[in-house]
Amino acid sequence: MQPLEKRAQALKEAIDQAMARLDVAGKAERLQAVDAQLAIPEVWNNPAHAQELSKHSAGLRAVVEPWQTLQAQVADIVELMQMGDESMQAEFDSQLTALEAELASRKKDLLYGGPYDDHDAILRITAGVGGTDAQDWAEMLERMYLRWAEKAGMNVTTAERSTGEEAGIKTSVLEVSGPFAYGKLKSEHGVHRLVRLSPFNSDNLRQTSFALVEVLPNIDAPDDVQIDEKDLKIDVYRAGGHGGQSVNTTDSAVRITHLPTNTVVAIQNERSQLQNKETAMRILRSKLAQLQMEQHAESLSDLKAGESANWGSQIRNYVLHPYTLVKDTRTKYEDKDAGKVLDGKLDGFMTSYLESVDIDK
């Protein structure tokens, strides 16, 4: 029985250490506080706020409860072992093996230790120069992330989308929600390069296209990133492009500029000016939080003008001709099945990036 007791004790200590690193106790307290707010009937008088609280509760619960369950199961086995029932050894061995496997799987959560890793994410895809080819490439990336999100059990809503004249998209802004959405997607932040035979060229020549992917933590709470009103310039204008019958008849589009950093966010997707302003402010808070992390700034006042992810930071090559290969320039991780990668097979790239960042700490 003694070797089994040692295994159980080692497992218990490993779980306790992992939970401390993930601050499961702190998240459990936040979950309790959010659930207490949701239990107040009046909170549902503001459906949008109530939905945000519900989403926050679900995200915290997805992290907290599996670890609490694992901790309780190991505590039960330790207690049973202390009763000294030798006839249970085979069952203890089987249960410990299963719990060790569960811990190994759960340990991936330890990769998400960044300040906003447990937040939802905002994904902004922008086509580079190159006309229709680049816009088509941007849409291919949009599809890739939608497929990945579907497989990962994430929810996605489109905050903004601008289509190209012939094909593809100029820009797309996606809001991705689910456990560690930002922690997983932050590996995608940078320039993505495609090499292929152009389907838009009559000579079928090899074409290189670029798209910029910005990944931001979704900062819903204004208190998380406090912006001084005097630092903002807010413009309203008439929305353009495809958007339904009334999109061009009112000044509903909103452009917000954070003057100290020259960070600009423009939203025209919603018909309501108020909705567009709320979405733009949420994205602006997220951009400033990303800049703060990149510049290691203690506060917004310390930020320098700059863009979150720029066209010089190429992170991944997708080659479809004369061979197929997707290779990350930072981690050197690669996958020869480019078709599956473009169909959402991104977990290998994400994990290798997170492991390399974790090693560098």
The model's confidence at residue 296, banded by pLDDT at 50, 70 and 90, is low
Q: Residues 27, 107: one domain?
A: yes
The model's confidence at residue 32, banded by pLDDT at 50, 70 and 90, is very high
Domain boundary at 93, 111, 129, which?
A: 111
Q: Which domain holds residue 196?
A: 121-221+310-360
Range scoring the smallest mean pLDDT among 156-160, 178-182, 271-275? 271-275
List, as one string, the DSSP characters of 48-106.
HHHHHHHHHHHHHHHHHHHHHHHHHHHHHHHHHHTTT-GGGHHHHHHHHHHHHHHHHHH
Kindly state whether residue 200 falls inside one of the protein's structural domains.
yes
Tell me the average pLDDT across 200-219: 85
Q: Residues 272, 316: one domain?
A: no
CB of 283 within 8 A of CB of 159? yes
Residue 211: name the closest of 286, 114, 302, 141 by CA.
Answer: 141
pLDDT tens by residue, 127-159: 988 789 999 999 999 999 999 999 999 999 888
CB atoms closer than 10 angstroms to residue 319: 17
Q: Residues 152, 198: one domain?
A: yes
CB of 265 within 8 A of CB of 246? no
Crossing angle of helices 2-21 and 24-38, rounded to 10°: 60
What does the block give as tokens for 55? 């989403």
CATH number at residue 31: 1.20.58.410
Domain boundary at 61, 88, 111, which?
A: 111
Q: Residues 191, 240: one domain?
A: no
CB of 136 within 8 A of CB of 211? no
Q: Select, from the ranges 51-55, 70-74, 249-253, the one with the highest average predicted confidence (pLDDT).
A: 70-74
Q: Residues 101, 160: one domain?
A: no
Q: Residues 325, 244: one domain?
A: no
Cβ partners under 8 Å of residue 221, min gap 6: none
Sign (positive/negative) of CA torsion 109, 110, 115, 117?
A: negative
Q: Residues 23, 142: one domain?
A: no
Kindly state whether residue 79 falls inside one of the protein's structural domains.
yes
pLDDT tens by residue, 10-31: 999 999 988 888 888 988 998 9
On the CB side of 54, CA atoms within 13 Å amount to 9
Q: Residues 206, 292: one domain?
A: no
CATH number at residue 259: 3.30.160.20
The beta-carbon contacts of 75-80 under 8 Å, at least 24 apart in sequence, are: 75/12, 77/8, 78/5, 78/8, 78/9, 78/12
pLDDT in the model for residue 112: 84
CB of 292 within 8 A of CB of 270? no
Q: Residues 298, 210: one domain?
A: no
Mean pLDDT of the chain: 84
Kindly state whether residue 116 falls inside one of the protein's structural domains.
no
- Please say if the pLDDT value at position 245 is more than 50: no
pLDDT in the model for residue 247: 47
- Please say if the pLDDT value at position 244 is more than 50: no
pLDDT in the model for residue 280: 86
- Start-to-end CA distance of the chain, whole Å, equals 39
Domain boundary at 111, 140, 156, which?
A: 111
Q: Look at the chain and report how many structural domains it folds into.
A: 3
Q: Residues 234, 130: one domain?
A: no
Kindly state whether residue 84 falls inside one of the protein's structural domains.
yes
Tell me the average pLDDT across 320-337: 95
